Amino acid sequence: MAGSAELGRLIAELPKERLEQVFTHASWAEERAESYERLEFLGDSVLELAIARSVFDRFEDASEGRLAKIRAHVVSRQTCAGVAKELGLGERLSEYAGDIAPDELQRISRSRNVLAAVLEAGIAALYLEHGFEQIEPSIVAAFAEKIEYASSSHVDYKTE
């Protein structure tokens, strides 16, 4: 959790309008573009770049294939959902849920796909607010344990 604390703080400090979009599920938005989906699209690329740069710099002797496997594991839905849980992003969804039934909210806030999407949306919002250079260290720190695990294990995110 220590590595993800800075990323969590940055997300929590986003402007209200950005937070609303980060935590608005598509089924809650009047218009789909008001949900986190567009931000998720951008955040996925920002996350991939931050992790790719980190593993490229860190593992100078690794082959392209090995770097790709490490990156794929680190940016996988499962890993992103785990980081989102560490940051408490699922619980934050309730602040923006409106009149959603509690059982539906619970289902959505525990969904691996939703958690990963919200994390990526948060990363995109940070990128738009601060730029890549400012947020890259916080992203890498939040995923540091995952990078370490992927680099020291035989990982294949498609079979996990």
Q: Which residues are catalytic?
A: 44, 120
d(CA 38, CA 124) in angstroms, rounded, equals 9
d(CA 95, CA 29) in angstroms, rounded, equals 14
Nearest CA to 127 among 29, 22, 3? 22
Handedness of CA 37, 39, 40, 44 (dihedral sign): positive
Tokens of 151: 């680099």
